[in-house]
Amino acid sequence: MADPTSSVAGKRVLVTGASSGVGAALARALAARGAVVGLVARREDRLAEVLADCRARSPRSIMWVADLSESLTASRLGLQAWHAMGGIDILVNNAAIPLRRAVTALRPDDVERVMQVNFVAPMRLGLALLPRMLARHSGLIVNVSSVAGRLGIKGESAYCASKFALCGWSETMAIDLAGSGVSVKLIELGPVDTEIWDQPDNDEAYYRGPKIAAAEAAAGIIEAMGSDRFEHYVPDLKAVIDAKNADLDAFIAGAARMTRP
């Protein structure tokens, strides 16, 4: 198994959604392992706290306050970060927002905002940095998706659509970039104990099972960075996806019967 420390030590890593949850845990873990970390999020006060922790171990770490729901922000941010950090070795598209609401209660604008943050922003950031990574024949793009990008979850059609899109984008990107020196990793997170479960204007989640800690998810992402494989389940829930794919109709029928405890 590759040493996760050696895969990030000395690297310049840009992490979105870094003010809390998995993003904050990942930023701190990267800095502790010797990476220079660029942090991106909307909440300046909380982002500054994470940056202070990172700078204790990695003094050249830096932050940007940005709202990735704004259409052109990600493209501009990518170029700003590249120049400020003297290049970017690893881009981690982690920022995401939930929208737990039955499809019958959704408005198009709500769905588009989720798509903007969860898919369009990663797409724009990746495309902004890609020509520069290709020019030097090296780089890593890590797209943090979810098991919700491989199976439908009741009451989460907007979120699932955004994560399905990110999965398809990442998979085809990896195919197109084969042999270029730029690689792509897709992370399928399972249930992680973060604020995403307790958001205003979201219905209560159907899921009531166990959750892993954000630090465990961050460790899994760093381990994936040093791996030769494309797709990584953190925790390993691939058997659930395989069962769904084996009988999609049975999966849909079972998921439709779900009720909240």
Q: What is the 3-state secondary structure (H, E, C) of the chain?
A: CCCCCCCCCCCEEEEECCCCHHHHHHHHHHHHCCCEEEEEECCHHHHHHHHHHHHHHCCCCEEEECCCCCCCHHHHHHHHHHHHCCCCCEEEECCCCCCCECHHHCCHHHHHHHHHHHHHHHHHHHHHHHHHHHHHCCEEEEEEEEHHHCCCCCCEHHHHHHHHHHHHHHHHHHHHCCCCCEEEEEEEECCECCHHHCCCCCCCCCCCCCCECHHHHHHHHHHHHCCCCCEEEECCCHHHHHHHHHCHHHHHHHHHCCCCC
Residues classed as catalytic: 159
In the block, residue with structure tokens 């998921």: 255
